[in-house]
């Protein structure tokens, strides 16, 4: 399984309405230094409907990038009940999903 496929497999485990961070995904993969590589894998995700890369945010709680734009990412998270204020997940520490 490629690195990207391993990332996508983990992203499928993030429940609707929850978020994780690029760093948490990297650590879960046993590659704590691969934070940027996780972000790149999210950007290459060809399965957006089945692999919820929009549920991965920056370590500081800001939404970060998204292939379809940050506004779209915020809208998707909002539909799932994740409250975003000023491009940051509100109550960030209480909604982080840990693998």
Task: List pLDDT tens digits, range 42-79.
Answer: 999 999 889 999 999 999 999 999 988 999 999 999 99
- Classify domain 3-95 at the CATH class level: mainly alpha
Facing residues of 99 across strands? none
pTM above 0.85, yes or no: yes
For 19, the 3-state DSSP assignment is strand
Catalytic (active-site) positions: 53
Q: How much is the average pLDDT of 80-89?
A: 95
94 has pLDDT over 70: no
């Amino acid at each position: 399984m490629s690195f990207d496929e391993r990332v996508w497999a983990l992203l499928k485990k993030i429940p609707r309405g929850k978020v994780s961070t690029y760093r948490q995904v990297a650590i879960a993969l046993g590659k704590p230094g691969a934070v940027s590589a996780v972000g790149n894998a999210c950007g290459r995700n060809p399965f957006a409907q089945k692999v919820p890369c929009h549920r991965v945010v920056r370590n500081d709680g800001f939404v970060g990038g998204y292939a379809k734009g940050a506004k779209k990412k915020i809208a998707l998270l909002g539909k799932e009940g994740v409250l975003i204020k000023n491009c940051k997940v509100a109550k960030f520490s209480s909604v982080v999903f840990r693998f």
